[in-house]
């Protein structure tokens, strides 16, 4: 994954001084593209997500957000509940 | 697109052992959900299919067969759809065990057909890469190439075959394209070199996994599969067929620590390696010519998953389904009943009057009739569920309902089975198969029979019609209608509350957050739809039919013996006297002390006992007892009049509105349906495990029903209503 830091943009600007800011996937808006940094959900869920194409270092796009998320993961649509989406830390990328 | 076969065949030595006589091959179909795998299976095997269960689990085992051009008998096993071989669900576990030859009574397949969705190659290749490391001959069916073209993807099948080291056949299962090529590739596959891992492990990972592989080898895992098994262990803990291996957990933990110490994320290593390799494969084989962007599916979803329109569309669709099950099934059920009646008349005419005639007409034919009368509802409901499933809407319905159902501790997918329960618990329970988490599925099965099904309607109608006045309430409503609504509401509320209780106690487990693929919308394949519906109906007839059949004969015997001398009585009175003197009638007197606290007399007791097999029998038994003939139905005014005018020895009315309500509450909660018992036993694992769940459900529902009826009756008395 050849991501460069200046492409990142902050997603929670308040109180943030750094140029790079990680945030939970649950906070990303529709249309936001993000790189997965960490998955702090249970091992079982993390394993399922990886098998579905969502793993540390992969990029996803938020297609729809209304409590639950609909993501574009490698061309397929994946629905995530709010609980698991808040346990995934991402770096939002410039859209 | 060209139908391509592997270029590797060219480098092969000429085959000298080409079979001339008929031989047989066993193949297994494996693939992600929504790849068209089942459609491909149906297209390959046609109607020659068998559905069963894998030993000890509720995973469906679907087998079929076909004969190839060269006369080879090929038996095809359709493995459950899975996203990986990581064995994190019962479906995946079974798929892996079959491929490793560890599943009881399932031999290792000779050839694995990997069904891969051409429009979603990246995700599909994950499991493909795992399967190709197991040392089995593999043929890749690159399915739905037409859909891929539409979305602007063209896949170089020749290049893909060279890269993967296995034959690749482009197919469109819905149109039957590529099937002949696929069949030929399957026959050739055993003679080709076996596919193997196409990427190298980092040295660190290889060293860390060496002890794990050693341990797996020693414990008898096939040498060809240890590499895949060891790598998978980094991300998931040993379970299933690996749980018994001594020291494996410790070895895996050490390997993870070693990988972690080397600066890699141990649990993510497998995904990183496989997807890293996959992205190279994609780069060299997939050509994008369309402008990606919003697909048709995205545009439909913008409406279907809309905050406001989404739930609205969902409610309208569900109302339509529900209404159709009721209204369309009704005339069909009448036809079935009439046919059964005609058959009974024929049998009655053909046989001399006597016990044999009675056994055949009142026992066998009536019993079988009470089973097949459910078939129209099952067929209609599963046609709808099949369409919703095949088009891709089912996943959206689960998505929309997820938040609501999560409130009571269930999953979005529990909604459809519960809704189906309003029509009939049997198809509702069969529909729980779409719930992948076993505990959620069990909790749903436990509460589906609380939804007031159509078999309760005759009971409600008889009692409401007789004892609840048709008083107008608030102008537009009617007390009778409101009572009926209250019964439905009572069952539904209880189902939701009790599901929540089960999920917090007996079926407690880690909550499974929603992680669900929303497949692209597709037109349903009619052949597959037809097969699903007929399989469901057949399953119901075979399994539930046998049990009901046996029980109705037992009930018939209990109501018929011992014979009572009735020759000097009119036919109606004779029937009443016979019933009163039979074992069933005696049982009614026996249970009278038990039902008396609820305000019920022995006649209600008999009717309840006789309706253990099916609730609607209550009405017929009441009809028999009150001498208006067993042909009475819930709208029969003769029966209503008898009930209203029935008095006790002291002259007070035998039945009051309070007793009627207590009785209805009893029927809301009580599990009085042998078909449901049978299907619960089957769907919760079959055998003794299933029987235990079915008995447990029967008992708790009976206790609930008894307590609720007691509470209603006693509270009513205290409030001064006439008992």
CB–CB contact A84 B514 (8 Å)? yes
Structural tokens at position B502: 């089960």
Q: Judge whether B626 and B643 are in contact, CB under 8 Å.
A: yes
Report the gap between the CA of B438 and the closest CA in chain A (Å): 15
Segment B483-528, tens digit of pLDDT: 888 888 899 899 999 998 998 888 887 767 888 899 999 999 888 8
Q: What integer pLDDT is reported at residue A4 of this predicted model?
A: 38
Q: How many CB atoms lie within 10 A of CB A14?
A: 5
CB–CB contact B305 A42 (8 Å)? no
The residue written with tokens 């994946």 in the block is A78
Distances (CA, A) of B6 to B9, B117, B129, B136: 6, 19, 17, 16
Minimum CA–CA partner of B303 in chain A: A64
A70 in contact with B, Cβ within 8 Å = yes
Q: What integer pLDDT is reported at residue B162 of this predicted model?
A: 94
Minimum CA–CA partner of B270 in chain A: A50
CB–CB contact A74 B122 (8 Å)? yes
Best to test chain B binding among A1, A31, A50, A88 (most B CBs inside 10 Å)? A50
Which sequence spans correspond to the domains of chain B?
8-191, 203-268, 541-718
CB–CB contact B301 A77 (8 Å)? yes
CB–CB contact B515 A58 (8 Å)? no
Tally of helices (H runs) and strands (E runs) in chain A: 2, 6
CB–CB contact B123 A53 (8 Å)? yes
Half-sphere exposure (Cβ direction) of B219: Cα atoms closer than 13 Å: 19
Of the partner residues A49, A52, A66, the one whose CB lies closest to the CB of residue B307: A66
Number of domain units in chain A: 1
ipTM: 0.83
Q: Judge whether A51 and B271 are in contact, CB under 8 Å.
A: yes
CB–CB contact B123 A84 (8 Å)? no
Of the partner residues B86, B237, B403, the one whose CB lies closest to the CB of residue A51: B86
Minimum CA–CA partner of A79 in chain B: B516
A52 in contact with B, Cβ within 8 Å = yes
Minimum CA–CA partner of A42 in chain B: B510
Residue A29 falls inside a structural domain: yes
- Choose among B144, B139, B140: nearest CA to B173: B144
CB–CB contact A44 B84 (8 Å)? no
CA distance B489 to B481: 12
A29 in contact with B, Cβ within 8 Å = no
- Low pLDDT (below 50) residues in chain B: 1-21
Structural tokens at position B182: 């696929």
CB–CB contact A53 B403 (8 Å)? no
Q: Where are the alpha helices (DSSP H) in B21-144?
A: 37-45, 90-100, 121-131
A78 in contact with B, Cβ within 8 Å = yes
What predicted TM-score, i.e. pTM, was given to this entire model?
0.78
Of the partner residues B83, B406, B513, the one whose CB lies closest to the CB of residue A51: B83
Q: What integer pLDDT is reported at residue A94 of this predicted model?
A: 67
Of the partner residues B267, B510, B514, the one whose CB lies closest to the CB of residue A46: B267
CA distance B565 to B443: 50
CB–CB contact A79 B399 (8 Å)? yes
CB–CB contact B267 A83 (8 Å)? no
Q: What integer pLDDT is reported at residue A46 of this predicted model?
A: 92
**Per-residue pLDDT band at A35 (split at 50, 70, 90):** very high
Domain that holds residue A50: 24-93
CA distance B164 to B161: 5
Beta strands A68-73; A76-80: pairing state = antiparallel
Report the gap between the CA of B296 and the closest CA in chain A (Å): 13
Best to test chain B binding among A77, A85, A88 (most B CBs inside 10 Å)? A77
Q: What is the DSSP letter of B219?
A: T
Report the gap between the CA of A68 and the closest CA in chain B (Å): 8
- Choose among B99, B81, B106: nearest CA to B91: B81
The residue written with tokens 């569920």 in the block is B385
CB–CB contact B86 A47 (8 Å)? yes
**Per-residue pLDDT band at A11 (split at 50, 70, 90):** very low
Of the partner residues A46, A58, A79, the one whose CB lies closest to the CB of residue B514: A79
Report the gap between the CA of A16 and the closest CA in chain B (Å): 28
A84: CATH: 2.30.30.90
**Per-residue pLDDT band at A14 (split at 50, 70, 90):** very low
Q: What integer pLDDT is reported at residue B58 of this predicted model?
A: 62
Best to test chain A binding among B33, B84, B95, B123 (most A CBs inside 10 Å)? B123
CB–CB contact B518 A70 (8 Å)? yes
B265 contacts in A (CB within 8 Å)? 56
Residue A11 falls inside a structural domain: no
Residues of B with CB under 8 A from a CB of A: 83-84, 86, 88, 119-120, 122-123, 126-127, 235-237, 265, 267-268, 270-272, 275, 297-298, 301-302, 305, 307, 395, 399, 402-403, 406, 510-520
Kindly report the backbone phi and psi dihedral angles of residue A65, in degrees, each rounded to the nearest multiple of 5, phi listed first: -135, 120
Q: What integer pLDDT is reported at residue B30 of this predicted model?
A: 97
CA distance B269 to B291: 33
Beta strands B60-67; B49-53: pairing state = antiparallel
More confident position, B436 or A80: A80
| CATH architecture designation of domain B8-191 | 3-Layer(aba) Sandwich (3.40)
The residue written with tokens 């073209």 in the block is B149
Residue A5 falls inside a structural domain: no
A46 in contact with B, Cβ within 8 Å = yes
Segment B686-712, tens digit of pLDDT: 788 889 999 999 999 999 999 999 999
Sort residue B599 into left (φ over 0), alpha (ψ -120 to 50) or beta.
left
Structural tokens at position B387: 């369409």
List of long-range contacts for B247-253, beta carbons under 8 Å, 24+ apart: B247/B215, B248/B212, B248/B215, B248/B216, B248/B219, B251/B211, B251/B212, B251/B215, B252/B212
CB–CB contact A73 B510 (8 Å)? no
- Choose among B131, B514, B248: nearest CA to A48: B514
CB–CB contact B88 A47 (8 Å)? yes
Q: What integer pLDDT is reported at residue B192 of this predicted model?
A: 94
Of the partner residues A50, A67, A79, the one whose CB lies closest to the CB of residue B518: A79
Residue A69 falls inside a structural domain: yes
Within 8 A by CB and 6+ apart from B611, the residues are: B617, B618, B621, B672
Best to test chain A binding among B35, B514, B520 (most A CBs inside 10 Å)? B514
Beta strands B24-31; A88-93: pairing state = unpaired
Segment B430-479, tens digit of pLDDT: 888 878 788 889 999 999 999 988 778 778 878 888 888 878 777 677 78
Exposed/middle/buried for B688, CB within 10 Å: 0-12, 13-18, 19+?
Answer: exposed
């Amino acid at each position: 994954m050849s991501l460069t830091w200046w492409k990142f943009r902050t997603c929670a600007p308040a109180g943030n001084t750094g140029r790079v800011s990680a945030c939970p996937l649950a906070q990303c808006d529709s249309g936001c593209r993000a790189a997965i940094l960490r998955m702090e959900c249970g091992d079982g869920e993390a394993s399922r997500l990886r098998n579905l194409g969502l793993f540390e270092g992969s990029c996803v796009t938020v297609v729809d957000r209304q409590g639950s998320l609909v993501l574009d993961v490698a061309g397929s649509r994946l629905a995530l509940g709010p609980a698991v989406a808040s346990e995934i830390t991402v770096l939002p990328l410039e859209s | 697109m060209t139908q391509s076969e592997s270029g590797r065949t060219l480098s092969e030595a000429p085959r000298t052992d080409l079979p001339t006589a008929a031989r047989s091959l066993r193949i297994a179909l494996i693939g992600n959900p929504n790849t068209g795998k089942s459609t491909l299976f149906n297209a390959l095997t046609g109607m020659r299919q068998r559905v069963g269960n894998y030993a000890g689990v509720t995973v469906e085992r679907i087998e079929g067969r076909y004969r190839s051009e060269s006369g080879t008998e090929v038996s095809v096993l359709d493995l459950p759809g899975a996203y990986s071989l990581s064995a994190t669900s019962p479906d995946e576990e079974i798929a892996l065990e079959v491929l490793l030859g560890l599943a009881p009574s399932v031999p290792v397949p000779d050839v694995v057909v990997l069904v891969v969705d051409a429009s979603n190659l990246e995700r599909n290749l994950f499991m493909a890469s795992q399967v190709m490391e197991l040392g089995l001959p593999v043929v890749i069916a690159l399915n739905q190439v037409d859909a891929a073209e539409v979305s602007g993807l063209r896949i170089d099948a020749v290049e893909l075959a060279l890269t993967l080291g296995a034959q690749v056949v482009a197919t469109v299962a819905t149109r039957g394209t590529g099937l002949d090529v696929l069949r030929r590739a399957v026959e050739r596959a055993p003679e080709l070199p076996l596919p193997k891992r196409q990427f190298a492990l980092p040295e660190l990972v290889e060293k860390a996994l060496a002890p794990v592989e050693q341990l797996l080898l020693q414990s008898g895992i096939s040498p060809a599969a240890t590499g895949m098994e060891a790598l998978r262990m980094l991300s998931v803990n040993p379970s299933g067929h690996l749980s018994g291996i001594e020291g494996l957990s410790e070895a895996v933990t050490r390997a993870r620590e070693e990988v972690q110490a080397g600066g890699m994320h141990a649990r993510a290593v497998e995904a990183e390696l496989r997807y890293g390799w996959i992205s190279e494969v994609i780069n060299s084989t997939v050509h994008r010519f369309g402008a990606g962007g919003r697909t048709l599916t995205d545009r439909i979803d913008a409406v279907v998953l809309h905050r406001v329109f989404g739930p609205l569309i969902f409610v309208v669709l569900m109302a339509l389904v529900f209404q159709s099950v009721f209204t369309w099934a009704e005339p069909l059920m009448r036809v079935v009943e009439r046919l059964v009646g005609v058959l009974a008349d024929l049998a009655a005419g053909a046989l001399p009057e006597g016990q044999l005639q009675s056994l055949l007409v009142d026992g066998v034919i009536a019993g079988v009739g009470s089973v097949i009368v459910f078939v129209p509802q099952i067929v209609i409901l599963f046609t709808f569920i099949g369409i919703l499933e095949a088009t891709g809407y089912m996943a959206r319905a689960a998505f929309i309902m997820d938040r609501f159902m999560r409130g009571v501790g269930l999953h979005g997918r529990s909604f459809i089975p519960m809704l189906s329960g309003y029509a009939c618990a049997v198809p509702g329970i069969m529909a729980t198969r779409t719930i992948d988490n076993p505990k959620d599925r069990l909790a749903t099965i436990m509460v589906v029979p609380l939804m007031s099904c159509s078999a309760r309607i005759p009971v409600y109608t008889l009692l409401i019609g007789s004892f609840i006045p048709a008083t107008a309430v608030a102008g537009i409503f009617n007390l009778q209608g409101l009572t009926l609504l209250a019964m439905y509401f009572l069952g539904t509320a209880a189902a939701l509350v009790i599901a929540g209780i089960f999920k917090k106690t007996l079926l407690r487990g880690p909550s499974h957050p929603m992680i669900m693929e929303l497949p692209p919308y597709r037109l349903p394949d009619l052949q597959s739809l037809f097969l699903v519906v007929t399989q469901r109906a057949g399953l119901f007839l075979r399994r539930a039919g046998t049990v009901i059949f046996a029980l109705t004969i037992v009930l018939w015997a209990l109501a018929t013996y011992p014979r009572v001398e009735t020759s000097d009585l009119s036919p109606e009175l004779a029937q009443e006297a016979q019933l009163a003197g039979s074992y069933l009638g005696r049982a009614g007197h026996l249970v009278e002390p038990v039902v008396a606290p609820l305000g019920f007399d022995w006649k209600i007791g008999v009717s309840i006992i006789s309706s253990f097999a099916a609730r609607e029998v209550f009405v017929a038994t009441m009809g028999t007892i009150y001498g208006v003939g067993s042909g009475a139905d819930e709208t029969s005014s003769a029966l209503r009049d008898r009930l209203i005018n029935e008095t006790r020895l002291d002259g007070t009315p035998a039945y009051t509105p309070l007793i009627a309500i207590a009785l209805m509450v009893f029927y809301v909660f009580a599990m009085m349906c042998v078909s449901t018992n049978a299907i619960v036993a089957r769907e919760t694992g079959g055998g003794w495990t299933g029987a235990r769940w079915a008995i447990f459900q029967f008992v708790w529902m009976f206790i609930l029903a008894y307590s609720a009826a007691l509470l209603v009756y006693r509270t009513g008395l205290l409030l001064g209503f006439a008992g």
